[in-house]
Amino acid sequence: MKNNLKFSPLELELKEYAKENKVPIIFDEGLSFVEAIIGAKRPKNILEIGTAIGYSAIRMASVCNSNIYTIERDNSMYNLATKNIKKAGLENNIHVIFKDALEAFSDVSNIKFDLIFIDAAKAQYHKFFDIYTPLLNDNGIVICDNMLFHGLVNDINNIDSYSRSVRGLIRKLNLFHDELLNNDKFQTAIYDIGDGMSVSIKK
Ligand code: SAH
Ligand code: MG
């Protein structure tokens, strides 16, 4: 894939930090895809599940000044994210909620979202989808990252050599694919972009 993404010094620092510390931030390929959707859709409010160090939130907020509500359950990630968002000067745009996303519905339930970006524990994607999509506006979009799990989800018959927990995750993601594709309230496609990305548009 070719793109002309530009990165600020802070964003380059975050990418380097993520690489050194194995924080699974979004790949450039996925990022350029998400940024294209945001640029076209111009969402007023975005909900992100899985902040990590704030990298994707900072990038998404910068496309067209959307408000981002982003949920993170890990204390050290939460602290890094708030620090980085402040450094980026985006603390008025990006609201980090320090909670497990399974328990944060009431923190955002008075807000309507144009875009939901799910990028947290893969085994819980279907729960996140069910909890938060009632807050989606008509024609709102749900994007899920890491949907192909390094290609393994497309290769479900050849996963015997993986650990029990990885096999369990792959099966759960595979079920979630089916649920998404069978949900007729959404038009869904799963793309082989980055680590696999689904786009579901609320009808
Ligand atoms: N969106 C980030 C990367 C997120 S990595 C980026 O691209 O820059 C996934 C993050 O989700 C991790 O920091 C992990 O702690 C968090 N997470 C996983 N399950 C969660 C849950 N149930 N609730 C809140 N955060 C969760
Ligand atoms: Mg991801």
pLDDT digits (tens), the chain, 203 positions: 889 999 999 999 999 999 999 999 999 999 999 999 999 999 999 999 999 999 999 999 999 999 999 999 999 999 999 999 999 999 999 999 999 999 999 999 999 999 999 999 999 999 999 999 999 999 999 999 999 987 777 777 888 888 898 888 888 999 999 999 999 999 999 999 989 999 999 99
Domain annotation covers residue 1: no
49 contacts 77 by C-beta, under 8 angstroms: no
* pLDDT for residue 156: 77
Residue 2 is assigned to a structural domain of this protein: no
Kindly state whether residue 4 falls inside one of the protein's structural domains. no
The answer to whether the CB of 59 falls within 8 A of the CB of 101 is no
For residue 7, the SS3 value is coil
What pLDDT does 40 receive? 97
What is residue 151's predicted lDDT score, i.e. its pLDDT?
Answer: 77
In a domain? residue 178: yes
Write out residues with Cβ below 6 Å of ligand 1: 24-26, 50, 52, 55-56, 71-74, 77, 100-102, 119-121, 124
Side-by-side strand order, sheet with 67-72: 94-98, 67-72, 45-49, 113-118, 136-144, 197-202, 186-191
* Domain total in the chain: 1
Question: Is 147 domain-assigned?
Answer: yes
pTM of the model: 0.97
Q: Which residue matches tokens 């959404």?
A: 186
Residue of minimum CA distance from atom 25 in ligand 1: 72
Q: Are 145 and 120 in contact (CB under 8 A)?
A: no
Ligand 1: which atom is nearest the Cα of residue 124? 22
Which ligand lies nearest the alpha carbon of 26? 1
DSSP run (H or E) holding 97 = strand 94-98
Model pLDDT, residue 157: 80
- Residue 143 within any structural domain of the chain: yes
Q: Which of 17, 51, 118 to mutate to test the pocket of ligand 1 (most atoms within 8 A of CB)?
A: 51
Within a domain: residue 170?
Answer: yes
> Which amino acid, one-letter code, is at 146?
N
> Which CATH number goes with the domain that contains 67?
3.40.50.150
Q: Whose CA is nearest to atom 6 of ligand 1?
A: 25
User: Domain residues for 27?
Assistant: 9-202
Identify whether 84 is part of a domain.
Answer: yes
On the 0-12 / 13-18 / 19+ scale of CB atoms within 10 A, 9 is exposed
Listed in sequence order, the DSSP H helices in 21-124 are: 28-41, 55-64, 75-87, 105-108
